[in-house]
A and B are shown apart, each in its own frame.
Chain A
Amino acid sequence: GNSVTQMEGPVTLSEEAFLTINCTYTATGYPSLFWYVQYPGEGLQLLLKATKADDKGSNKGFEATYRKETTSFHLEKGSVQVSDSAVYFCALTLASYGGSQGNLIFGKGTKLSVKP
């Protein structure tokens, strides 16, 4: 079946450290891939996305590249800030059409804590 696997957290970093959160997927077709961020007590916000192989999504200093050969979409940031502390979710969707195949499938989330 289709699934998303994220590295387990929590991840604790010092401010200005380099961040990588691993995400790999299993999919029967050609998915679109997403990273969502959830700040404490809030809903999820779309952070970035990539819709085809070799695309790079980027936003707010975060980047992720859609790697079809390794079925991965790792999230990276060169220098994290305290304000980046949140839970990060990797997700995929197949098919642009209706039906359950198009629903987003989420990883379990990775909690990031950045210390000053």
Chain B
Amino acid sequence: DGGITQSPKYLFRKEGQNVTLSCEQNLNHDAMYWYRQDPGQGLRLIYYSQIVNDFQKGDIAEGYSVSREKKESFPLTVTSAQKNPTAFYLCASSIEGRRINYGYTFGSGTRLTVV
């Protein structure tokens, strides 16, 4: 079955270390997204990519970086510059030009804890 796989489900890192969260999809979707979820704040867009080798900053891109070298993969790096990285991170994808009808497909998330 097609879907989005995020790994790992739980991740612990020491303060000051960079960490990369994986997101892979086999849905042949064009667009991919990274969201951060904190209690009581809903979903906040970090980065999105509509096509391979191109990506755009979302609302809270500072302290994060991404790459989109393959259509299937959109890894997110949480750098040491991110002041409060502990959060639940969600990856999503969509069919470009058809979001109006289909919305997004989400992965199951990665919970990052920085100690």
Contact = CB atoms under 8 A, between A and B. Distances in A.
B103 A34 contact: yes
Nearest to A109: B42
Interface in B76-115: 90, 92, 96-101, 103-109, 111
B48 interface: yes
8 contacts: A32-B99, A44-B106, A46-B103, A49-B103, A93-B100, A102-B100, A103-B45, A103-B99
Interface of B: 4, 6, 31, 33, 40-43, 45, 48, 50, 56, 90, 92, 96-101, 103-109, 111
Given A43-B109, A93-B103, A100-B48, 17 more contacts: A34-B103, A36-B103, A42-B108, A42-B109, A43-B4, A43-B90, A43-B92, A44-B92, A44-B106, A46-B104, A51-B100, A96-B99, A98-B31, A99-B50, A102-B97, A102-B100, A108-B42
